[in-house]
Amino acid sequence: MSARLFPHGLAGVIFDCDGVLLDSRESNAIFYNKVLSVFGLPPMTPEQEEYCFMATAGQALRHIVPPDLHHRIEEVVSRDVVYDRDIVPLLRLQEGFRPFADDLRARGVRMAVHTNRRLHGIQRVLDIFALPSYFDPVVAADTAAPKPSPEGAQRICAAWGCNPADVLFVGDSEHDKTTAEGAGVVFAAFTTGPLRGRITAADFAALHAALADALPRKAGR
């Protein structure tokens, strides 16, 4: 299947962060619910949780906090619920990511990150897990138009000098899918849910198997 999707071979892979690089849905929900608790508000509804997982932090907070309290958001997240202090220690690297990325690197496949986190936040995450050397470029919500805009994916393809059709975007949300399709890159749905892409994989082992026919040979083989 992958040979038909990538007739010239797979040149690069763009990764979403939350839900793909990181197993972070639970920790993100804890963050937003802690903020709501400070405001004396009930926990997020399932619909709010889904929105917040795709949106930028600013968009998410403005979505779940009533407008008359927006002026207090900055105070709450800088004093009462501090993401780096309270949530970052809860983050976990997605199982199977590192061997998958190591194999791509050994085959000369480029890798990038495109996230709706801000640049400071994603760089902090990459540093914690010793991942900066894997990704170039790193595109964040404050360095390109946030997803679902295709701008970030287009910038990555341009930086690589790659035909978008030779690039894969691995994501777990409709925003990721819209971004990939808008940029003309192949979308892989990384999920056990209803989201579907031209490739759909529940984990990195399944994704690797789906890409087997398109992966370049390792150097020296």
> What is residue 185's predicted lDDT score, i.e. its pLDDT?
98
Report how far residue 24's alpha carbon sits from residue 102's, in angstroms, rounded to the nearest whole number: 21
The topology under which CATH files domain 12-21+94-211 is Rossmann fold (3.40.50)
CA-to-CA separations, 16 to 5, 69, 73, 193, in angstroms, rounded: 20, 31, 26, 16
Instruction: Note whether 199 and 210 are within 8 A (CB).
Output: yes
> What is residue 221's predicted lDDT score, i.e. its pLDDT?
54
What are the 10-residue block averages of pLDDT along the chain, 221 residues in total? 84 97 92 97 95 90 97 96 91 96 97 96 94 96 96 98 97 97 98 96 97 86 54
The torsion angle over the Cα atoms of residues 32, 122, 159 and 143, rounded to 10 degrees, is 60
DSSP 8-state class, residue 79? I
Residue-range domain boundaries for the chain? 12-21+94-211, 24-90
> What is residue 18's predicted lDDT score, i.e. its pLDDT?
94
Instruction: Note whether 183 and 150 are within 8 A (CB).
Output: yes
Residue keyed to tokens 């970030």: 152
> What is residue 164's predicted lDDT score, i.e. its pLDDT?
97
Tokens of 114: 């495109």
